[in-house]
């Protein structure tokens, strides 16, 4: 009787181990599929970028001489931290949870007045508007230069 119980116990452990191995195997297969699809997307993107570059070069576009301008990040980049160490003192675990107060919604007396929720810092929007106008002006100048070059080339050949 004792051998039978041990055998059953080990059989149960082996079955649990086997089922866990199968779960890990299916999860690994899903991960491999995900990695392969991402590789495929990256290859497609690289191919599209190369095709676009060739097309722009074929049309004599001056994209290579234009300065690269990176857009400003809209929000602060958050730094990830590791998990906080847990206290091993059992007396601290019995602390009661604090009840959080709910925020009251602001009631505005003047509904016709536009809210400044989207425009937190008006000076930033002014600076951003100035930068956009400078960018538009530079693009317009570049287009004008390109048109003048095309006119000069046409005059030379005709």
> How confident is the model over 108-123, as a mean pLDDT?
54
pLDDT at residue number 1: 64
Mean of all residue pLDDT scores within the chain: 79
| Distance (Å) of CA 109 to CA 9, 79, 100, 104, 115 | 73, 40, 28, 15, 12
pLDDT at residue number 99: 73
- Contact yes or no for 142/62 (Cβ under 8 A): yes
Q: What values do phi and psi take at 80, rounded to 5? A: -85, 140
Q: Give the whole-angstrom CA distance, residue 12 versus residue 103.
A: 53
Tokens at 83, concatenated:
């998990």
- Contact yes or no for 147/62 (Cβ under 8 A): no
pLDDT at residue number 121: 58
Q: Which residue would you say has higher pLDDT here, 64 or 16? A: 16
Which pairs count as long-range contacts for 41-44, CB under 8 Å and 24+ apart, including other chains? none
pLDDT of residue 127 exceeding 90: no
pLDDT at residue number 73: 67
- Per-residue pLDDT band for 4 (boundaries 50, 70, 90) equals confident
Q: Give the whole-angstrom CA distance, residue 107 versus residue 25.
A: 56
- Per-residue pLDDT band for 97 (boundaries 50, 70, 90) equals low
Query: Model-level pTM greater than 0.75?
Result: no
pLDDT of residue 156 exceeding 90: no
> How confident is the model over 34-44, as a mean pLDDT?
96
Select from 59, 61, 78 the least CA-distant residue to 142: 61
Q: Give the whole-angstrom CA distance, residue 39 versus residue 31.
A: 12
Q: Write down the domain spans for the chain.
A: 1-65, 127-158
Among the listed ranges 38-52, 76-90, 113-127, 133-147, which one has the minimum average pLDDT value? 113-127
- For 44-74, write each residue's pLDDT tens digit: 999 999 999 999 999 988 888 888 877 776 6
Q: Give the whole-angstrom CA distance, residue 109 versus residue 119.
A: 20
pLDDT at residue number 158: 58
């Amino acid at each position: 009787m004792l051998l039978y119980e041990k055998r059953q116990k080990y059989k149960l452990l082996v079955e649990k181990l086997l089922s866990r191995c199968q779960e890990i195997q299916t999860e690994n297969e899903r991960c491999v599929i995900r990695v392969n699809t991402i590789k495929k997307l990256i290859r497609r993107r690289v191919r599209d970028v190369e095709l676009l570059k060739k097309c722009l070069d074929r049309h004599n576009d001056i994209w290579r001489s234009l300065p690269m301008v990176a857009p400003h990040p809209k929000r602060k980049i958050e730094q990830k931290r590791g998990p906080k160490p847990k206290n091993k003192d059992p007396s601290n675990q019995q602390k009661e949870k604090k009840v959080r107060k709910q925020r009251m919604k602001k009631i505005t007396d003047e509904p016709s007045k536009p809210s400044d929720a989207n425009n937190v810092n008006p000076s930033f929007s002014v600076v951003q508007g100035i930068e956009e106008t400078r960018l538009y002006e530079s693009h317009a100048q570049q287009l004008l230069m390109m048109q003048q070059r095309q006119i000069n080339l046409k005059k030379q050949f005709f």
